[in-house]
């Protein structure tokens, strides 16, 4: 029989009953349970060292199918726990030797965890992406000029715009995305701009001019999403999409590590 290690999913306050986890399974199909110390609870599961020990993890993390499967299971636990209490999501593949090591973590970082939980309680994360297609924007600019009068001045203006560079068009789209981000920040507690996603993973050919994530009061998520829709309708130059609400991964502060 294989020895076990402890996979950590999330940190919460110790103010809810463990039977709320009944039926919840983790990355190793294990029953998920709590480890409690210092008024905090870590949501954990016992996993096999054969698959989740240090050497095995290093090997398995190179297998994209394995990573995708475990990431879905890891996120599913965090999402379920977020329905029960405010959570600090823990990075996938955070594994401890035993429950006592997890208790030490809760005690040693008690103040930091309490501060983060206080900030995240009653809040969720919402993602917003804005895309621009430079070819379409250049075509729009040219088409707008063809609708004008046929004067010499109009012709020169049209030619000038037809010669506009891809860089100039992208800069204009980025400036518009900046304005949208500033508007969204007024409806959020906090927000971050993240690097554009890898095009090979996103499956999109256009440019990501905003990859934003926002910490929003849970009772204001609907208004935030309505604001995104209104902003999307106000522009024909950009395409917008929103995701979430999610547990606040991006606002959990320092990642828990072994």
* Residue 190: CATH number of its domain: 3.30.70
34-87 pLDDT tens trace = 999 999 999 999 999 999 988 999 999 999 999 999 999 999 999 999 999 999
The token pair that represents 242 in the structure block: 């929103």
Query: Do 135 and 213 lie in a common domain?
Result: yes
Tokens of 93: 């593949």
Whole-prediction pTM: 0.79
Coil/strand/helix, residue 106: helix
Compute φ and ψ for 30, nearest 5 degrees.
Answer: -85, 155
Count of domains in the chain? Answer: 2
- For residues 207 and 148, membership in a common domain is answered with yes
Tell me whether residue 100 is in a domain: yes
Instruction: Please give the residue range of the domain that contains residue 193.
Output: 124-246
In a domain, 258, yes or no: no
**143 and 104 belong to one structural domain:** no
**Listed residues 62, 87, 121: the one ending a domain:** 121
Shared domain check, 152 and 62: no
With respect to residue 147, please indicate whether it lies within any of the assigned structural domains.
Answer: yes
CA nearest 130: which of 194, 224, 82, 66?
194
pLDDT tens-digit series, residues 193-241: 999 887 666 666 788 899 999 999 999 999 999 999 999 988 878 889 9
Q: Which of 74, 101, 121 is the last residue of a domain?
A: 121
Does some domain include residue 86? yes
* 241 and 202 together in one domain: yes
Note the pLDDT of residue 5. Answer: 92
Measured torsion, CA atoms of residues 55, 69, 79, 17, in degrees rounded to the nearest 10? -60
In a domain, 142, yes or no: yes
- Asked if residue 143 and residue 109 are part of one domain, the reply reads no
Domain ends where: 101, 121, 141?
121
**Percentage helix, strand, coil for the chain under 3-state DSSP, each rounded to 5:** 45, 25, 30
């Amino acid at each position: 029989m294989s020895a076990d290690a402890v996979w950590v999913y999330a940190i919460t306050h110790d103010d809810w009953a463990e039977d709320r986890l009944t039926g919840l399974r983790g990355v190793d199909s294990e029953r998920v349970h709590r480890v409690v110390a210092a008024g905090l609870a870590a949501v954990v599961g016992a996993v096999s060292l054969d698959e989740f020990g240090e050497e095995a993890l290093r090997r398995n993390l190179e297998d994209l199918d394995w990573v995708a499967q475990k990431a879905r299971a890891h996120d599913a636990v965090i999402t379920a726990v977020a329905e029960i209490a405010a959570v600090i999501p823990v990075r996938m593949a955070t594994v401890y030797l035993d429950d006592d090591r997890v208790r030490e973590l809760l005690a040693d970082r008690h103040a930091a965890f309490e501060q983060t939980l206080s900030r995240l309680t009653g809040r969720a994360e919402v993602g917003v992406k804005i895309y621009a297609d430079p070819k379409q924007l250049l075509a729009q600019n040219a088409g707008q000029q063809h609708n004008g009068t046929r004067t010499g001045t109009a012709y020169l203006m049209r030619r000038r715009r037809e010669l506009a560079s891809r860089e100039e068009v992208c800069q204009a789209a980025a400036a518009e995305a900046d304005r949208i981000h500033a508007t969204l920040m007024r409806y959020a507690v906090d927000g971050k701009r993240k690097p554009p996603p890898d095009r090979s993973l996103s499956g999109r050919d256009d440019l990501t001019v905003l990859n934003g994530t926002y910490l929003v009061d849970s009772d204001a998520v609907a208004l935030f999403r309505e604001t995104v829709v209104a902003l999307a309708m106000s522009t024909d130059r950009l395409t917008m999409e929103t995701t979430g609400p999610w547990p606040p991964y991006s606002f959990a502060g320092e990642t828990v590590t072994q």
